[in-house]
Structure 1
Amino acid sequence: MLVAILAGGARAQTDVPAKPAAVRELQRALREHDRAWLADHVSYPLRYHGRTIAVIRNRNDFLRNYDAIVSDRLRSAVLMQDPERVFENWQGLMVGDGPRNMWLRETGEGEAARYEIVTINDVR
């Protein structure tokens, strides 16, 4: 499927494959500290593995704990990822490095299809 994610989650046909476009949009949100976009692109409950193991149950929990969930090291690891060279397996896309990454999985079908964050790993 060839799509790009536009502001507000809308999609339009382009020549950019969906996976790299999803990674670029995630990186844009992290670079700009766009907490609302990130919270809206999480598949809840979100699994978090860091100094503690936690389950983030909803958008409000994510926003309230954003600074603890999205560390500078995690942001850096995700921002350094080449969108064209993302590890992928049956679980989804891993954006970042080994101990610090975000896992994305495609959800929905047709016009409603998009990538959502399903797991965050920030092992220190």
Structure 2
Amino acid sequence: MKKLIAVIIVLVIMLSGCSEKKIIVDNTETAPSSNNQKPIALPEDKPQSPKELKNDTDSNILDSIDTANSPFEKGYYDYQGTINNNMPIYMSVYPLGKDLVGSYFYESQRKELNLKGKAGEKEIILYEYDETGKKTGVFRGTMSTVDKIEGTWSRADNKKSYPFTLSLVSILPGAEYGKRYAVAINGASDQDVEEFVRKIQSYVLNQNKEQLSKEIKYPITIKIDDKATTIEDKDEFIKNYDKIFHPKYKQAITRAITKYMFANWQGVMFGTGTDNIWINEVTDTNGNSRLMIIAINN
């Protein structure tokens, strides 16, 4: 009988120990339950999707960057560079509050990807997003000045990464965000300006002399046979069209980037080097204004 009682006592102690251990494990997953209610999930154990977790990680990385000494000041900073030394890209960024926002595109595709990140005194991180808001990659770089940024571009899934380098080509200092061309053109949006330039570019590409001649403010001085010549009207422009848009100049204009264009009080320029076209708002005798070509540098 005494042996039986001893066995029972040992079993009770063992069961009590297992029960206590189970309660401790449960407490790491749910709040204690009472009155037969279902366990309540603790706030820190709220399930998160992989995307949410990734965003939290991104936020932690960005929060670690001290933006107080960022070299970027109000305005647009335009860059040209490469990814993997063989993929040309164009990028424009703008310091908006503590963030650095903007976009970039590959020269071969010319499809913009949005950028958002932060810059410190030496460090810069920019996450890229497609038109749906999906993160597609990240630039992690360093800089001694804003003139040159170097680092690594990685795909969002980290399965591929390549070196990148960016060189500053122009700055639009003091420009308001979303109004990069307002220094010259107040009556048209940035989108209007870029659409007008694309229209001009298509006229040149398709040899549409008649339509192009209607977009010019006359008289206009253009180089013909290496001599500055004043063109008085559209008929004279059409007559000299092939001398104005000679093969080298036509190629420069049709290949020119129609975004991130340089602007100052004189107007907006698109083209490469000394081969360019300038546009601005022109007011006619009736007081109506519209975008027109004001200079053709060939």
- TM-score when normalising by structure 2: 0.34
In structure 2, the residue corresponding to 1:43 is in which secondary structure? coil
Of all paired residues, the percent bearing the same amino acid is 26
Indicate the residue corresponding to 2:257 in structure 1: 82
Indicate the residue corresponding to 2:72 in structure 1: none
Gaps of 5+ in 2: 1-188
Q: Does residue 224 of structure 2 align to residue 43 of structure 1?
A: no
Indicate the residue corresponding to 1:103 in structure 2: 278
1:75-100 CA-to-partner distances (Å, cap 9, x unmatched) read: 21112222112111111111111211
Runs of 4+ in 1 over 2 A off after TM superposition: none
**Counterparts of 1:106 and 1:71 in 2: how far apart (Å)?**
27
**Counterparts of 1:53 and 1:83 in 2: how far apart (Å)?**
27
Indicate the residue corresponding to 2:241 in structure 1: 66
Please tell me whether Structure 1 or Structure 2 has the larger radius of gyration of its CA atoms: 2
1:87-123 CA-to-partner distances (Å, cap 9, x unmatched) read: 11111111111211111111238xx54321111111x
Count, aligned residues: 106
State the AA in 2 paired with 1:90: W
1:4-43 CA-to-partner distances (Å, cap 9, x unmatched) read: xxxxxxxxxxx97111101110111111111011100010
In structure 2, the residue corresponding to 1:42 is in which secondary structure? coil
Q: Does residue 203 of structure 2 align to residue 29 of structure 1?
A: yes
Q: Of residues 174, 177, 191 in structure 2, which corresponds to 1:17?
A: 191
Structure with higher RCO (Cα < 8 A, 6+ apart):
1
Aligned partners of 1:26 and 1:38 also within 8 Å:
yes
- CA 49–89 in structure 1, closer or farther in 2 if over 3 Å, else same: farther
- CA 90–41 in structure 1, closer or farther in 2 if over 3 Å, else same: same
**Counterparts of 1:47 and 1:95 in 2: how far apart (Å)?**
18
- The structure where helix makes up a greater share of residues is 1
State the AA in 2 paired with 1:44: Y
